Chain A
């Protein structure tokens, strides 16, 4: 399993207080918002903070966030592409 994806799952569970979920409950390709994990607009903003705090990546335009946070897989791809 991709170590980054595993790490991201743990961080998301902790940061977004998804205490009733375990890492193995989350499918890396499932949508984070709406049907999937059921995250909402505040969670999206918190994910922006998470990227900045844990990976040093700043999303300048919040409109970009939607594509980046489609799933854990897209988040991981974005981190790999943008991490210095």
Chain B
């Protein structure tokens, strides 16, 4: 089998703009807050998943991006659910929610919140995507200072080339203060219509164009 893998679809949300496979699919004025934008995108795309409202901001961002990404391809139909990996990274971990949880354990107002605490782990977003789509394959969450095309391409290619997964949902999801961006993409062994090789160079190009 060839060691070459391909990026077969991608989706990003940044600065109140949703981009699917490079074209702007939905946008609003950049004045709107990130969280309000996510809620209006959820309504615009009629995602109809009430659990969305219960998620923290990081998971909301990951869920919408992955939903829109998976609508553009047939990954969840074409592959066995155990063969699909989800590997995502970010720079802020779950800090947005960590800070919120910290306020619930203030000594003078001590009411630790379980619904907030459960989101103080970044990999919860992997679980949310897995639950939404019934995906049961490899799961890994990494944290880097910035999107690391070299590491991600090398790690994911090794997963596919060693038959640990047949395809992968991967990328970057950050939500903290003014750092709000997502960039998710799918990697498969077949070139698909896009025919973009999953290399560090191609990935860097795609990511910076978002």
Contact = CB atoms under 8 A, between A and B. Distances in A.
Interface of A: 15-20, 38, 42-43, 45-46, 49, 52-53
Interface in B88-130: 111-115, 118
B50 A42 contact: no
Contacts, number: 29
B113 A49 contact: yes
24 contacts: A15-B115, A16-B54, A16-B115, A17-B53, A17-B54, A17-B115, A18-B50, A18-B53, A18-B54, A19-B39, A20-B50, A20-B53, A38-B50, A42-B114, A42-B115, A42-B118, A45-B114, A45-B115, A46-B114, A46-B115, A49-B112, A49-B113, A49-B114, A52-B111
Interface of B is mostly: helix
B60 to A, nearest CB: 10
Interface of A is mostly: helix
Given A18-B53, A42-B115, A46-B113, 11 more contacts: A16-B115, A17-B115, A19-B53, A38-B50, A42-B114, A42-B118, A43-B115, A45-B114, A49-B111, A49-B113, A52-B111
Contacts of B118: 42
Most buried by A among B39, B112, B115, B118: B115
Contacts of B114: 42, 45-46, 49
B190 to A, nearest CB: 38
